[in-house]
Amino acid sequence: MPRPRTVSDEAILDAVLGLAHRIGPARLTFAAVAAEVGLSAATLVQRFGTKRGLLLAADKRGVDLWVDALDRSTAASPLTRIIEGLTLAVENVATPELMANSVAMLQLDLADPDFHAETLRGARAVRARIEGDLNAALDAGELRAGTDAARLATLVETAYHGAMIGWAIHREGTLADWMRKQVEAVLAPHRTAG
């Protein structure tokens, strides 16, 4: 009979994500993760196989957390939900170093087909959630009639990605504040008066 797991896969993957953002995926080792979660490296190898397998599982977890952040806002206003959701998606990126290591993870996402499939799945889900809230904003009269929700969703998503890099370069305030301002600026011309 197998021994019960003392640390869940989700807890391990959350630790991997945190460690990858602190030290970068290239420096991440089974030993470092084991020390972080209080398990042996052999146990981690048994669960995830290879470092690539561990990072891919963590990437899938990270994508799910990214997408789920857009559902965490409880605002009644659809436009406020978009702004708060995208801000919540970056709440754990507090320093330019964390952003640099996040970009290192993105390099894996862009270079490896399996990682890319996960990132693309997440990006499509994020854009769909934004578009859904934009359509709700149209129905609620928050956006000007005739606004193309699909096109604006693409612009908002693009602003979201660009805002992270822009903040890491300019380093003005927090990423959350920078993100909020950039997304609000993209939405502003499309809002109804009032």
State the pLDDT at residue 4: 60
State the pLDDT at residue 28: 95
State the pLDDT at residue 5: 67
Tokens of 99: 């952003």
| pTM recorded for the entire structure | 0.90
State the pLDDT at residue 92: 87
The list of the chain residues with pLDDT below 70 reads 1-5, 194
Residues 130 and 153: beta-carbon distance below 8 Å: yes
State the pLDDT at residue 49: 96
- DSSP result, 118-180: HHHHHHHHHHHHHHHHHHHHHHTT-B-TT--HHHHHHHHHHHHHHHHHHHHHH--S-HHHHHH
Q: Where are the domains of the chain?
A: 59-190
State the pLDDT at residue 193: 84
Classify domain 59-190 by CATH number: 1.10.357.10
What would you measure as the largest C-alpha separation in the chain, in angstroms? 66
State the pLDDT at residue 158: 97
Handedness of CA 52, 16, 108, 126 (dihedral sign): positive
On average, the pLDDT of the chain sits at: 94
pLDDT in tens, 119-169: 999 999 999 999 999 999 999 999 999 999 999 999 999 999 999 999 999
